């Protein structure tokens, strides 16, 4: 099990939350981006530098993803590809993407792009503060705990046993 992060647009507070959880649980966090992200490396996650170009980090995350992993991205198209591959996906605001909601999320994204192309809407995702971080952290912790339990049970161990 690993945590895969689409790091190009991931807020600093979210990265720090993921890194703390990685150290606490021993689960490797992999940050994929087209640029180096400060503060990642050693016991603080693994940085995967992707070549320049559209979707290079997305392709790398897809190639690394396996069922049982947790991915964090705000990219709806990447989320759809991961959900189709049976990967658990949340965004940096704690929204869980799944088979039931990903189609609607893609439609909404396309609608918003259409508005922006016609000069309507501001194209901004809004501010990111303490409330958004708390919502993310609560969702992240809940899902990470569930995935750890599932992985432990799949290995034939009782949760909490060594």
How do residues 88-99 score in pLDDT, each as one tens digit?
A: 999 999 999 987
Backbone angles phi, psi at 97, to 5 degrees: -100, 135
Per-position pLDDT tens, the chain of length 162:
999 999 988 999 999 999 999 999 999 999 999 999 988 987 778 999 999 888 899 999 999 999 999 999 998 889 999 999 999 999 999 999 987 776 665 666 555 566 566 666 655 556 888 999 999 999 999 999 999 999 989 887 655 554
- The runs of H, that is alpha helices, within the chain are 12-25, 56-64, 76-84, 102-117, 130-154
* Residue-range domains of the chain with CATH: 2-154 (3.40.50)
Model pTM? 0.82
Contact between 32 and 6 (Cβ < 8 Å): yes
What value does the CA radius of gyration of the chain take, rounded to a whole number of Å?
Answer: 16
Strand 88-90 with 96-97, pairing: antiparallel
For position 39, what pLDDT does the model report? Answer: 86
């Amino acid at each position: 099990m690993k945590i895969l992060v689409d790091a190009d647009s991931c807020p600093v507070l979210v990265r720090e939350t993921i890194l703390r959880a990685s150290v606490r649980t021993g689960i490797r966090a992999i940050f994929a981006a087209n640029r180096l992200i400060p503060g990642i490396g050693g016991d603080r996650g693994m940085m995967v530098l992707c070549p320049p170009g559209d979707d290079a980090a997305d392709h790398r995350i897809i190639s690394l993803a396996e069922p049982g992993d947790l991915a964090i991205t705000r990219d709806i198209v990447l989320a759809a590809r991961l959900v189709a591959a049976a990967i658990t996906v949340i965004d940096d605001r704690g929204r869980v993407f799944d088979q039931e909601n990903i189609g609607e999320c893609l439609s909404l994204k396309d609608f918003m792009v259409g508005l922006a192309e016609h000069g309507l809407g501001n194209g901004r995702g809004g501010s990111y503060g303490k409330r958004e971080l708390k919502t993310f952290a609560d969702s992240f912790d809940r899902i990470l705990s569930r995935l750890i339990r599932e992985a432990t049970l799949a290995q034939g161990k009782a949760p909490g046993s060594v």
